Amino acid sequence: MDPVKVGILGLGTVGGGTVNVLQRNAEEIARRAGRGIVVTHAAARDLNKPRICSTDGIIITADPKEVVEDPEIAIVIELIGGDTLARDLVMRAIENGKHVVTANKALIAKHGNEIFAAAQAKGVIVAFEAAVAGGIPIIKAIREGLAGNQIEWLAGIINGTGNFILTEMRDKGRDFDDVLKEAQELGYAEADPEFDVEGIDAAHKLTILASIAFGIPLQFEKAFTEGITKITREDVTYAEELGYRIKHLGITRRTDKGIELRVHPTLIPERRLIANVDGVMNAVLVQGDAVGPTLYYGAGAGAEPTASAVVADVVDVVRVLTSDPENRVPHLAFQPDSLSDLPILKMEDVETAYYLRMQVKDEPGVLANVTRILGDKGISIEAIIQKEPQGGSAEASVIMLTHTVLEKQMNEAIQQIESLDTISGEVTRIRMESLEAS
């Protein structure tokens, strides 16, 4: 049987890694797929740029349209990123009857509904394992391995840059800005790090995970995002003293009212396995009703870890090239006519516990006023730490952990607390999750 011909859009880090894996493991991949897989065409912006892979036997062009229009190419691998040109090329490839494999989380999170509808109509596959958590096969795990479960919730460290920063702040007592600069020097963070540190990248990935976990349309615009730029080394230290660690989590949960979809810094008990995922590594914790909690851990980025997921998708596509399109695994795990209309909850309707830190005047009655406000809003306190004033300051740090409460009630309480004359500046609020199996 003739090998399947593949075209790659983008020969950067992941594109080069994909070529390397396909070439190095060609024999093993052919055994798994049932046919050989060869890259015959590739598109690259700079034709003269040094590559991390061998391009022998590959026709390279600066025009990506040549790849998606080539009649001999059966599978297009989209690795150029962004959601404008990439969307146009993917839609054109689908129109031409080609299967698509992509590592582009923004493309899927923003335009996946449209792309999957077009693919369904043409009877082709769009595979996107590499779009979430790099080399961790989390999409396949939820869509196929956990298909017999009702997914109750999942929580993930799905951005390595943010996790690296928080790990360094905890382990070495460094400030956010200092670690961010190092992350940029190491290539973990872009010159403009907003997508990573403000949670946008994680929200793209969480949107995809929520869709395949709960069978809902992709709704990136409804995801709540909060970054880690306001986390101080003091917050990291106080969390440790209380038996918690701060992680930048993506959390989605099915509730009676709808689906939670949120990315924010989160205190989690230090004994949880996911609390001990450090550096640039990723991890996703999934709670299913039958299996209970399962944890998926590995490299969330990098040339060959991401290429591992890309190639796995290519193998899957090759395996089903001759199968009935109606009987393939659906793009979002559920049949298109069976997607749920469960609403995405507004953040103010989410229930969670909280870590609060505030600067207070060191005088009698201050704590009584704060606890009265919390009590009036139905917020009970689990723990309090008061740090004495340092260096002659007239202000002390007060740290509180609360029990679970609606975000709306906490917003109202914080507004009232910040209006007290005895409170200096803003109250720092970090959400808390126990991540316990039910």
For 432, phi and psi rounded to 5 degrees?
Answer: -125, 140
Confidence of residue 336 (pLDDT cuts 50, 70, 90): confident
Residue 13's alpha-carbon distances to 5, 84, 146, 282, 309, in angstroms, are 21, 20, 31, 19, 14
CB of 155 closer than 8 Å to CB of 435: yes
Q: What angle do CA 383, 386, 390 make, to 5 degrees?
A: 155
Residue range 35-57, pLDDT digits in tens: 899 999 999 999 989 999 999 99
Which tokens in the block code for residue 70?
A: 């080539």
Residue range 338-388, pLDDT digits in tens: 788 899 999 999 999 999 999 999 888 889 999 999 999 999 999 999 887
CA-nearest of 403, 404, 363 to 386 is: 363
140 is catalytic: no
Q: What's residue 333's pLDDT?
A: 63
- Paired with 43 in beta bridges are 9, 61
Q: What's residue 327's pLDDT?
A: 57
Which tokens in the block code for residue 76?
A: 């297009």
Confidence of residue 157 (pLDDT cuts 50, 70, 90): very high
Write 108-112 long-range contacts (CB < 8 A, 24+): 108/204, 108/208, 108/218, 109/203, 109/204, 109/205, 109/207, 109/208, 109/218, 109/220, 110/83, 110/204, 110/218, 110/220, 111/83, 111/87, 112/208, 112/211, 112/218, 112/331, 112/332
Record the pTM.
0.90
Give every CB contact of residue 410 below 8 A, 6+ residues apart in sequence: 354, 377, 379, 402, 429
Q: What's residue 292's pLDDT?
A: 96
Mean pLDDT of the chain: 93
Domain coordinates in residue numbering, the chain: 4-135+303-338, 141-299, 351-432
More confident residue, 188 or 410: 410
Identified catalytic residue from 98, 110, 140, 205: 205
Q: What's residue 191's pLDDT?
A: 84
- Least trusted range by pLDDT, from 10-14, 151-155, 213-217, 390-394: 390-394
How many angstroms from the chain centroid is the CA of residue 325?
29
Q: What's residue 77's pLDDT?
A: 98
Average pLDDT estimate for 53-67:
95
Confidence of residue 389 (pLDDT cuts 50, 70, 90): confident
Superfamily (CATH) of domain 141-299? Dihydrodipicolinate Reductase; domain 2 (3.30.360.10)
Average pLDDT estimate for 207-234:
97
Confidence of residue 437 (pLDDT cuts 50, 70, 90): low
Average pLDDT estimate for 283-301:
95
Specify the fold of 4-135+303-338: Rossmann fold (3.40.50)
Res 64 pLDDT > 60? yes
Res 331 pLDDT > 90? no
Whole-number Å distance between alpha carbons of 103 and 113? 16
CB of 367 closer than 8 Å to CB of 418: no
Domain range 351-432, CATH class: alpha beta
Which tokens in the block code for residue 383?
A: 């723990």
CB of 282 closer than 8 Å to CB of 160: yes
For 248, phi and psi rounded to 5 degrees?
Answer: -90, 100
Res 418 pLDDT > 70? yes
Confidence of residue 332 (pLDDT cuts 50, 70, 90): low
Average pLDDT estimate for 409-416:
97
Tokens 């005047």 found at: 361
Average pLDDT estimate for 72-94:
96
Res 184 pLDDT > 70? yes
Q: Say if 141-299 and 351-432 have the same CATH topology.
A: no
